[in-house]
Structure formats: structure tokens, C-alpha cells
Amino acid sequence: MAIDATDARILEALQRTGRLSNADLAERVNLSTSACHRRVQRLEADGIIRGYVALLDPRKVGRPTTVFVEITLSGQADEVLDAFEKAVARVPDVLECHLMAGSADYLLKVVANDTEDFARIHRRYLATLPGVAQMQSSFALRTVRQTTALPI
């Protein structure tokens, strides 16, 4: 599906402020409320808008520590990859898991309260993931830029 300039303006506005009323959104993108509503419904139906979320402050919910974990598996067979992916999907502290090209097979983004909490996560979950041959963790010292908005 092609995204025209009006769709792009809608998507940019919703990525910045997802709780806009349809009337406010329509005003921002210079559409009637009914035309704006139809476009948003189409963008949702086409799967371009996957959902709406509240973005939480990690410090205020006790998860200020971000750790990036590089995982190298013992093999590349489909059953090894599948077993790892199913297991890592059940780890509540893992926000993201990416299959990688390069030196590591997977890159995880993990949140924790502090280094001691990460040690607990490591012992309880990460060290028990199937097929893991090597793991390297890097702690983020400061977040310089973070966004959820995709460029349109």
C-alpha cells in the first residue's frame, strides 16, 4: 500500500502524540474529521499502524539499567534457532531480540534495576537459554538518543 503525503502527516503526528483526538488530528493534517477517521482506519486495517502504547519512564518503574547482550549459538540449524527464539520470548526482562549478521547471532536489549538485578536475570534466564555457546554483555552508560518514531 502506498503512503501519500497526507498519510505521512497523520503517521508523523500519531507517532509524536498517540492520544490525539480525531478532531485534533484532523486539524493538524488539514482534513475533515470524517476523512481523517477513514484514513486512520485504513492505516490500521492495512497494518501500518500496529497499535497504540503508553511509553513508560524506565527510572520511575525501577528499570533504569539497559544491557545489550550479544549471544552466539552453538549452531545455526533451524531447530537450534527455533528453540532459542521460543525460550528468549518468555524472558520478561528482554525488550528486544534481533537475529544478527556479524560476529553475534543475536542481540538482546535487556532492562534491569541495577547490576545486581541483571546478575539475577543472567543466572535465572539468560544462562539457561538453549544452544548458547557464548554471551557478552555491555551496559549502557547513558542514552543519548531514543525514539520510537519511524521516519516517514
Q: What is the C-alpha end-to-end distance of the chain, expressed in Å?
A: 14
Q: For residue 30, what is the domain's CATH number?
A: 1.10.10.10
Residue 51 in domain: no
Residue 93 in domain: yes
Residue 32 in domain: yes
Give me the domain span that covers residue 116.
65-139
Q: At residue 145, does pLDDT exceed 90?
A: yes
Residues 16 and 144: their CA atoms lie apart, in Å, by 18
For residues 9-19, give the mean pLDDT. Answer: 96
pLDDT digits (tens, 9 = 90+) for 40-63: 999 999 999 999 999 999 999 999
Residue 56 in domain: no
* Residue 78 shares a structural domain with residue 22: no
Domain count, the chain: 2
DSSP-assigned states of every residue in 95-108: EEEEE-SSS-SEEE
Residue 12 in domain: yes
For residue 93, what pLDDT band results from cuts at 50, 70 and 90?
very high
